[in-house]
Amino acid sequence: MRIVVVAMTVSLAGGAALASDPQLEGETLRKAIAGKTVSLTTPMGGLPISYRADGTMQGRAGALATYTGAARDTGRWWIVADQLCQRWNNWLGGSSYCFRLRQEGASVHWTRSDGVSGMATIAGK
């Protein structure tokens, strides 16, 4: 159960409404994420992830720390095949995961390649 909750809450990510097409892809996806803070929606509150333009990221688990195993973590992110990919140093066992992102109004729906999905919002420049 813990692994499922962590996968659903820590896995990531979102994008901003930068295109009329709801699927965020390529450079539009990169611009939607770089320099932004994506807050994943969870039953226990938001889980903010800061995506820096240099390809690094930082997350703060807050109330979810008991599920993630640590209050904070850092990692790397990149774009490949129109997907946002990321790898945390500790969370999710340090495994890499990729996501498809789709704009839905002010929110972003993300789906991981294994079917895990969720919603997020974006704040930033």
Q: Is 57 in contact with 10 (CB distance < 8 Å)? A: no
pLDDT value at 3 more than 90:
no
Strand, helix or coil for residue 28:
helix
Q: What is the pLDDT of residues 58-99, one digit of tens each?
A: 999 998 999 899 999 999 999 999 999 999 999 999 999 999
- Give the pLDDT score at 16: 37
Q: Which residue has the tokens 């979102």?
A: 14
Query: Average of pLDDT values for 16-26?
Result: 65
**Domains of the chain, start order:** 2-124 (2.40.128.640)
pLDDT value at 119 more than 50:
yes
The predicted model scores a pTM of 0.81
- Give the pLDDT score at 7: 44
